[in-house]
Amino acid sequence: MILIDCNYFEMCDLGLKLSDLASIAQVIIAIANICLAIYIFTYQRSKDQKTQNDTARLNEQNIKLQWFKELVIQPNFDVINKFYDDLNSIEGQIGSNDLNDEEKEKINDFIKASQSRLRKSLVDVLLFVDPQFANKAKENLDKLVDGITEAIFNDELKLKNPNTYEKYIASKISASKNNLIAQLYNYKGLSS
């Protein structure tokens, strides 16, 4: 057995007793506990604030989406369908494979007038809701009208042929409609 020369757990060189070390340890533990409590309080408060902000943002987004549906989509859904129905009706206006310039201009004016009605009714309203979203819708419509105009004025295309009409006009109309409806459906109420 080894005997310790120091008098009952007294630290030889430092002159500290075990009770002094226990007191120092208790103070260190108390300080650590206070620091941990402050950290937990701050962390929980920050987490609660973030949750509260996220909830407020989601509520605001839901309100915007409801207003978007009520004020933009529902009043314009018939206008959207009418526009695409009008464009689908140009197949009946194509009387032959060799349209003269007057017939081409008449069809083109009809397309542009239909597009103008849709832009005034829908796209102009979208500008106030979300300009980026409105620009995407406008680009979709412009691309469609440009594509149909190019097909109408291309003398090499025989648009009276159902396959040619489908490829150069009908498929573009369908793709544009699907794209516009997808854009409206996928709108989240936040600027892109």
Q: What is the pLDDT of residues 39-72, one digit of tens each?
A: 999 999 999 899 999 898 888 888 888 888 888 8
Encoded tokens for 79: 């206008």
Residue 15 lies in a domain: no
Banded model confidence at residue 141, pLDDT cuts 50, 70, 90:
very high
Q: In angstroms, rounded to a whole number, what is the distance separating the alpha carbons of residues 82 and 69?
A: 19
Assign 65 to helix, strand or coil. Answer: helix
Residue 53 lies in a domain: no
Count of other CB atoms within 10 angstroms of residue 160: 14
E strand map for 123-179 = none
Residue 107 lies in a domain: yes
CA 41 to the chain's CA centroid: 35
Residue 4 lies in a domain: no
Residue 80 lies in a domain: yes
Q: Total structural domains in the chain?
A: 1
Q: How deeply is 43 buried, as exposed, middle or buried, from its count of CB atoms within 10 A (0-12, 13-18, 19+)?
A: exposed
Residue 38 lies in a domain: no
Residue 27 lies in a domain: no
Q: Who contacts 173 (Cβ-Cβ below 8 Å, separation ≥6)?
A: 84, 87, 88, 144, 148
Cα Rg of the chain, angstroms:
37
Residue 47 lies in a domain: no
Encoded tokens for 94: 């194509």
- Amino acid sitting at position 183: Q
* Domain extent for 177: 61-186
Name the average pLDDT for the chain: 87
Banded model confidence at residue 181, pLDDT cuts 50, 70, 90:
very high
